[in-house]
Structure 1
C-alpha cells in the first residue's frame, strides 16, 4: 500500500457465521458486530475478520447476514428494524457490552440503531467511510434513478416513492434543503434538522456509547463530500463546512458536541484509499480501529 497519509484527531477476529437467535460470546474482549454496505453482504469483512482474529485471538465477531446485495436498497427504517432484531440478542448475551463496526451505508443503518435502541450497550461505535452527514454524489449507475444527474436527483429522492430507496434516505442536496427537510424521512430526523417528538430520547440513546470513531479519507472516490465520513458537509454554496461549525454540532441536537466535549469523539483520516478497499487495508485497522476494540 502506497501513498497513505494517516491523521488521527483526538486519538489517544473474528469468525463470521449466520446469525442465530442466541450467540455464544467468548470471554475476554467484547464481541464485535459488523454491518455491511450497499450492494454487499457479510463477506465484505473477510479481511477485517482476519486482522481482528490475529490481533485479538478468541474475539467473537458477528457479520450480520441481512439485507444483502439487491436487498440493501430497501428503505433504511425497515433495515434498522431488521438489524435491531438481529443485534439485540447479541447485546443481551454480552453483559460487558459490544463493539460496532459499520461500513459505508451500514453506517447509516447504525445511526438509526444508536438512536432507537433504548437499551443498547454499544461501547465503541466505529464508522468506516460512512456518509454520516449525507451523500451528494458518488452514484452507482446500476439503477435508472442513479443515472440521473445529481443536481436532478432531489426530484425523485424527496418523494414518497424515492424514500423507499435506501440511498434517498441519506441523499442530502445542499441546494434544495427545503425539500430535503419536508421530504426526507430518515437523515433529516436523525440529524435533528427537522424537529420531532423523539429527538430527546434519541439523543439520550446516542450518548450511551463510550466512543464514536469516524474514519474516512480524501481519496475515497465515492462518499461525497468525502468529509461527510467525518460529519462535515456542504453549505448552500457548495463549500464544505467543518463538523464543528455545522448546526447539528453547534446546537448539539443529537449529542455530537457532547461526545466531543467528553473526549469520546475520534476523527481518523486516511488518504490514499479507495472506497471499496477500506475493510481490506491493515493500516486502517491498526491505525484507527484496533485501539478501540481493546477497551
Structure 2
C-alpha cells in the first residue's frame, strides 16, 4: 500500500555539471530513495556526458535536458529539479524556458550554480578549470561565435570589463537574464516555482565570484568588488522575477562550507542538508 506521503511527494530530477556525467548523481539518487521510500528519482544525462558537457553550447544542452524530462512519463505531473554547478544553471534554463506542454518544475534547487555567471583572471584568481577562458584575453575572442558555439563555459562568462559585449554577443546568460530580447514568459515561469533554494560557499574554489551562486556578480569595470543581487539591474527592474521571488520569501539562500566538488560526494550534505529541501513535507 502506497502512503499518502509518497503520493504527495513529487519525483526528483538530478543534473550533473561541466566535465561530468549522470553517474555523478548516483549517490544522491540512492540516498534520496532511502530517505523518501517509494519516491521516483532520476539523473538526466546531457548528450554523451563529459565531452558534450564541455564542447557543446548551452542552448543545445538545454534542449537535451528538455527531452530527458519531457520523455519521462513519471515526471508529467511535475518534479523537483536539483542541479550541481553548470547543471544547476541548466535547470534554471529549463525553469524559465518551459512551455505548456512540458512538465512543471515545482521546486528548483541550485547547488553551487553560476547563476550570475563567472569571471576571473585580472584581480581575481582562477581555478585551473578556467585557464582556457583566461587565454581568451579579449572579449572579441571569448564572445566570438566559434567559442560560444563550441565551449560551454563561455556561455556564462560575464566579463565585467566588457558588459556591452556580453549582451551584444547574445550569450546564453544574457538570454536567461532577459537582457537580449525581453520574454515575459521567462519571468512568469521563474515565479511559477513554489520555492527556489540556492546553495553556495566561500570555499567553493570553482565559482568565481562565489556570490554568483546567490545571483551576485562583479561590478562593471572591476573583478574585485562584488554586487549583491539586490544591487543589480536585473533585480531592480525584476527582469526575470528574481525580485518577486525574493520579496515573496520564495528564494532561500543557504551558505555552506563545502568545496565545489564535495557536495555530491558528501553523505552528510545529501542526507541532511539537501534532503530537507527535497522533501515536500519539510
2:170, 2:249 → 1: CA distance?
Answer: 31
Q: Which has the higher contact order (CA 8 A, sep 6+)?
A: 1
1:234 Cα deviation from its structure 2 partner:
0.5
**3-state SS, counterpart of residue 254 of structure 1:** coil
Question: Aligned in 2, Cα 1:94/1:106: closer, same or farther, shift over 3 Å?
Answer: closer
The match for 2:60 among 69, 78, 84 is 78
Q: Which residue of 2 aligns with 1:228?
A: 212
**3-state SS, counterpart of residue 135 of structure 1:** coil
**3-state SS, counterpart of residue 14 of structure 2:** strand
Conserved 8 A contact 2:82-2:109:
yes
Q: Does 1:205 align with 2:189?
A: yes
**3-state SS, counterpart of residue 39 of structure 2:** coil
Conserved 8 A contact 1:174-1:235:
yes
C-alpha offsets along residues 8-53 of structure 1, whole Å, 9 cap, x if unaligned?
A: xxxxxxxxxxxxxxxxxx7452110011101111111122223212
Relative to total residues, which structure has the larger helix share, 1 or 2? 2
Structure 1, unaligned runs of 5 or more? 1-25
2:133, 2:34 → 1: CA distance?
Answer: 44
Q: Which residue of 1 aligns with 2:24?
A: 44
1:44, 1:125 → 2: CA distance?
Answer: 19
Conserved 8 A contact 1:163-1:184:
no
Q: Which residue of 2 aligns with 1:130?
A: 113
**3-state SS, counterpart of residue 167 of structure 1:** helix
Q: Does 1:254 align with 2:240?
A: yes
2:108, 2:84 → 1: CA distance?
Answer: 11
Q: Which residue of 2 aligns with 1:176?
A: 162
Count of aligned positions = 263
Conserved 8 A contact 1:77-1:112:
no
Q: Which residue of 2 aligns with 1:215?
A: 199
The match for 2:146 among 156, 161, 173 is 161
The match for 2:251 among 265, 268, 274 is 265
Q: Which residue of 1 aligns with 2:178?
A: 192
Query: Mean Cα displacement is larger for which, 113-122 or 223-232?
Result: 113-122
**3-state SS, counterpart of residue 267 of structure 1:** strand
1:53, 1:268 → 2: CA distance?
Answer: 23
Q: TM-score, normalised by structure 2?
A: 0.86
1:156 Cα deviation from its structure 2 partner:
2.1
Question: Aligned in 2, Cα 1:206/1:293: closer, same or farther, shift over 3 Å?
Answer: same
Q: TM-score, normalised by structure 1?
A: 0.83
1:200 Cα deviation from its structure 2 partner:
0.5
2:162, 2:238 → 1: CA distance?
Answer: 23
Where in structure 1 do 4 or more consecutive aligned residues deviate above 6 Å?
none
RMSD: 2.1
